[in-house]
Amino acid sequence: LENICKVHKALKDPHQTLQNLGRAQLETAKRMGFADAQIAKLMGSNEDAVRAVRKQFGLRPFAKRIDTLAGEFPAPTNYLYTTYNAATDDVAFNEHGTMVLGSGVYRIGSSVEFDWCGVSAIRALRQLGHKTIMVNYNPETVSTDFDECDRLYFDELSYERVRDIYEMETAGGVIVSVGGQLPQNIALRLHQNEVKVLGTSPEKIDAAEDRHRFSQILDSIGVDQPAWKELVSVADAEKFADAVGYPVLIRPSYVLSGAAMNVAYDAEALRSNLELAASVSPEHPVVVTKFIRGARELDIDAVASNGELIKHAVSEHIEDAGVHSGDASLILPPANLSAEVLERVKDIGNKVARAFEISGPFNMQIIMQKNEQTPDHPDLKVIECNLRASRSFPFVSKVMDSNFVEAATRAIVGEGVPKPVDLMKGSDKWPYTAIKVPQFSWTRLAGADPFL
């Protein structure tokens, strides 16, 4: 700890700049575990500048095998990690595999469903004859089993580390759409720095994650959505809320499972919630939308190839829109949707797939609200779209006996892409109904009522 503190103090010295930073000093910092971003922050620079200096010095991490045999015998495993505390690599970089970014730690909003997606993607790639590289740091996952991929890196899912591994392996490409939100957050930056991101363009991913741009695109393709406004100032937000009427929903960009997403019922709540949203997602816009009460929420999980819808599933939420955040209770096939509504939802999916030129998985949430003027023709408003696999992908794949992630992986690499099929046609005649219910540790929550 003392050594780490010494390095920290030396880097923070006002006389120390990136220009006069020596190779030995930078190597010591990297061996102590300082990330490029940390070094940049201490020196008043930026991560890319630190990386450029590091590359100029020829400093890179080495790939080492995790010894599974306690040093008694050679351990020729595919369990790898990267470190600066080494002088050689334990593997030859001659496979040029396809990288799949995992979901990392299990927590609210990111759980075992994304691990299933990562494993399914790896298996599909291997079926297509690709060498595979999984990057994930959670040993509690199937994707980190020794026989699932050709190479496994137990490493953080940061921009720095992913790019290091990509460059060392001279990988054929990176898949960012099956590991949840973490890989999505670095997709655009990887793309802007000569990393080949496979599938849907990170530019389009960014457009969907950016609440303002996403809302503009929906308007341009004639897809309905709740009334919205990008936050410019608190006064503007209050003016908008007064115009559409409270309650309103505050929606930050690039977050998972509704982080900092709150409903404001008055001006005071609006102000405090806006401050929270801006602090959670400071580099991206915050959008305020009209919060719709008493409406049904629908989920569409889909796969597209070059903007063409290949397959989709429409699930109905048990709770009204706005009750849950992220982990929904779903019914498939939907219990209360007419064939006309299902067709309209499919049409929305087609429009969105074309507008964002999607190649791979995507998920949308749609609000269905009764229209007093046309009772048989409810309003359908899109409230969210993620250009990645969702946590309901394993559920719909199992219920419909069709692996959505396998199809998405084929679309991502452009090999063996299945023909479009409407799996929802005739769903009202299925001999079964499936319900997805989130599991919580009720017994560990004193006084919690497990019944809805």
C-alpha torsion 372→375→378→379, nearest 10: -20
* Sign, CA torsion 444/445/450/452: negative
Q: What is the rounded CA–CA span in Å between residue 379 and residue 98?
A: 42
**Considering the entire predicted model, what is its pTM?**
0.86
C-alpha torsion 256→257→261→263, nearest 10: 170
Q: What is the rounded CA–CA span in Å between residue 255 and residue 411?
A: 26
Q: What is the rounded CA–CA span in Å between residue 57 and residue 60?
A: 9
Q: Which two tokens mark 173? A: 């490409």
pLDDT at 246: 86
User: Where are the strands (E) in 190-280, listed by range?
Assistant: 228-230, 248-251, 262-264
Listed in sequence order, the residues at least 6 apart from 49 whose beta carbon sits closer than 8 Å to its beta carbon are: 18, 40
**What's the Cα-to-Cα distance from 208 to each of 28, 103, 114, 254, 364, rounded to whole Å?**
40, 20, 20, 9, 11
pLDDT at 450: 61
pLDDT tens, the chain, 452 aa long: 899 999 999 889 888 888 888 899 999 999 999 999 999 999 988 999 999 999 999 999 999 988 777 667 677 778 899 999 999 998 999 999 999 998 887 666 567 888 899 999 999 999 999 999 999 887 777 767 777 889 999 899 999 999 999 999 999 999 999 988 889 889 999 999 999 999 999 999 989 887 778 888 999 999 988 877 776 677 777 888 888 888 888 876 554 444 557 788 888 888 887 776 655 444 556 778 888 878 888 999 999 999 999 999 999 988 877 666 556 788 999 988 999 999 999 999 999 999 999 999 999 989 998 888 887 889 999 988 889 998 899 999 999 999 999 999 999 999 999 999 999 999 989 999 999 887 767 677 777 666 65
DSSP 156: -
DSSP 279: H
